[in-house]
Amino acid sequence: MSIIPITVYGDKILKQKAKSVSAVTDETIEKIKNMFDSMRNAQGIGLAANQIGYRDSIFVVDLKGVERYEKFKPIVLINPEIVLQSEEKVTLEEGCLSLPTIRANVERAEKIKVRYIDTDEKECEIEADDLFARVILHEYDHLLGKMIPDRVNDKIKKELQQNLLNITNREIEIDYPITEDQS
């Protein structure tokens, strides 16, 4: 298990679509452990594989450090697919480990259903709402090559431009390791 530097805005891998996992191997399990270690080190609650340089269609979620989620069991979603989203939408402020220093209001479905395989290669389906649904949708976006700036209107995107440039140029101060300049 290792702490891997977080990829940040400007890193090409964050714009690439993840590749489906054909089998859960020892290497896959090691990557998942690295994902949890890296996410927890950065005090995150979700992390997609491409956020630490893996192209695999995997993300992890651990909400147990969040109020009202103390009994949450960490979860690994491999090859996730959103199969249902409620018509009811909620707009809340989001942050992202790959966008340090940025927070923006993002509209997302209040409730979802997601199908995925677990580390035992068993197909699973869960329903989620509130913060859990939001984190799943946020991480799922990463697997599609999308990030918060892709989910906000042009006015907000314009307001974020200087911060995005600072992140791309590594002109930010944060307390977790990030990748070297990838441009």
- Tens digit of each residue's pLDDT (9 = 90 or more) over 39-97: 999 999 999 999 999 999 999 999 999 999 999 999 999 999 999 999 999 999 999 99
Is there a domain that residue 159 lies in? yes
Dist CA 87 CA 38 (whole Å): 34
Pairing of strands 75-85, 123-129: unpaired
Handedness of CA 83, 149, 133, 75 (dihedral sign): positive
Task: Determine the structural domain holding residue 126 and report its residue range.
Answer: 12-168
Of 62, 144, 126, 132, the C-alpha closest to 92 is: 132
Is there a domain that residue 181 lies in? no
- The tally of domains found in the chain comes to 1
Contact 48, 42 (CB under 8 A): no
Dist CA 55 CA 16 (whole Å): 8
Dist CA 124 CA 149 (whole Å): 30
Top-confidence residue, 108 or 181 = 108
Residue positions annotated with a catalytic role: 139
Is there a domain that residue 7 lies in? no
Dist CA 15 CA 156 (whole Å): 20
Is there a domain that residue 4 lies in? no
Is there a domain that residue 82 lies in? yes
The 3-state DSSP composition of the chain as helix, strand, coil percent (nearest 5) reads 30, 25, 40
pTM of this prediction? 0.96
- Return the CATH number at 138: 3.90.45.10
Is there a domain that residue 64 lies in? yes
pLDDT one-digit tens code per residue, 141-163: 999 999 999 999 999 999 999 99
Dist CA 119 CA 23 (whole Å): 9
Classified as helix, coil or strand, 150 is: helix
Is there a domain that residue 179 lies in? no
Determine the distance from the C-alpha atom of residue 65 to the mean position of all C-alpha atoms in its chain, rounded to a whole number.
Answer: 17
Is there a domain that residue 174 lies in? no
Of 141, 116, 139, the C-alpha closest to 126 is: 116
Helix (H) or strand (E) run with residue 60 in it:
strand 58-61
